[in-house]
Structure 1
Amino acid sequence: MKHNKGFTLVELLVVLAIISLLLTIALPRYFSSVDKSKEVALRENLQVLRSGIDKYYADKGEYPAALADLVAQRYFRKVPLDPVTESATTWQLLPSADAEKPGVADIRSGAKGKTRDGIPFEQL
């Protein structure tokens, strides 16, 4: 009796159904974890940048004119990326409220959208 090597169509369809079922379970968890990690990284980068601005102010008695000043004065090696926009140029720079001390007093994300908690990124 001659046996053909290979899989039948039914066997292939069963395997494809199992794979698709596993993907429908795994993919939403994966994308959720990616979004969560970006949010955590954003909060950390904001904290680091704000700390750098505060240290610059404590050392110099004035706020930096731009984020590049923090790099030039070696507070940072480079400006951290906004992980949501994946760019270092989308940060929103908030000026000092004191007219006698101009410069960047705070920073916000320039990303559109909201966190998983419903807070807009620009309010973090």
Structure 2
Amino acid sequence: MKRNKAFSLLEILIGLAIIGLIASIAHPMWKNTQNKSNYEVSRIQLTEVAKAMEKHYLEKGKYPVFSDWGQLSATETPLLEYTTKVPKQDPWGREYRIIESAEDKYQFEALGVPGKETEYPDFSYSDGLKFKEKGKTS
């Protein structure tokens, strides 16, 4: 009698179950790493904007005034003299916020990781390059 060399249905189901188990363990780890990376990118981007604001202040004696983030990140923004790129959005596709913008002060805010605000909270930069995380005093 000849025997076929093939996988049985049970062997295929066991293989799929093992792959599913590995994926269910790996996905949350990958997602957490991606969130941490995006949060750091967000901090770096907002830091660069705050540094550009400070350079503008040192050179001109006042901060540029913006009504919203779209105006700040526009192609004709005066900050492009001091930085190579002004981001339009954070890594999750949300606009950064302008809390305050005047010739003598500013405050910009970025949102934390969606659903992980306690681990990665909202943060802001204000005049003098002051960094603050939401819920923490400095």
The TM-score, its normalising length taken from structure 2, stands at: 0.68
SS in 1 for 2:65: coil
RMSD value, Cα: 2.6
Residue number in structure 2 paired with 1:49: 49
Task: Determine if contact 1:39/1:115 at 8 Å carries over to the other structure.
Answer: no
Residues 112 and 34 from structure 1, CA distance in 2 versus in 1: closer, same or farther, beyond 3 angstroms? closer
Residues 35 and 110 from structure 1, CA distance in 2 versus in 1: closer, same or farther, beyond 3 angstroms? closer
Quote how far apart the aligned CAs of 1:111 are.
Answer: 6.6
The gaps in structure 1 that reach 5 residues or longer are: none
Quote how far apart the aligned CAs of 1:13 are.
Answer: 0.8
Quote how far apart the aligned CAs of 1:32 are.
Answer: 0.7
Please give the alpha-carbon distance, in whole angstroms, between the structure 2 residues aligned to 1:118 and 1:65. Answer: 29
Residue number in structure 2 paired with 1:69: 78
- CA-to-aligned-CA distance 1:24-59 (integer Å, 9 cap, x gap): 111110111111111111111121111110111111
Please give the alpha-carbon distance, in whole angstroms, between the structure 1 residues aligned to 2:112 and 2:32. Answer: 18
Task: Determine if contact 1:109/1:121 at 8 Å carries over to the other structure.
Answer: yes
SS in 2 for 1:62: coil
Larger strand percent? 2
Quote how far apart the aligned CAs of 1:85 are.
Answer: 3.2
Please give the alpha-carbon distance, in whole angstroms, between the structure 2 residues aligned to 1:21 and 1:112. Answer: 26
Please give the alpha-carbon distance, in whole angstroms, between the structure 1 residues aligned to 2:28 and 2:112. Answer: 22
Q: Could you tell me which amino acid in structure 2 is paired with residue 117 of structure 1? A: E
Identity among equivalent positions (%) equals 30
Larger helix percent? 1
Quote how far apart the aligned CAs of 1:78 are.
Answer: 2.4
SS in 1 for 2:87: coil
Residue number in structure 1 paired with 2:108: 107
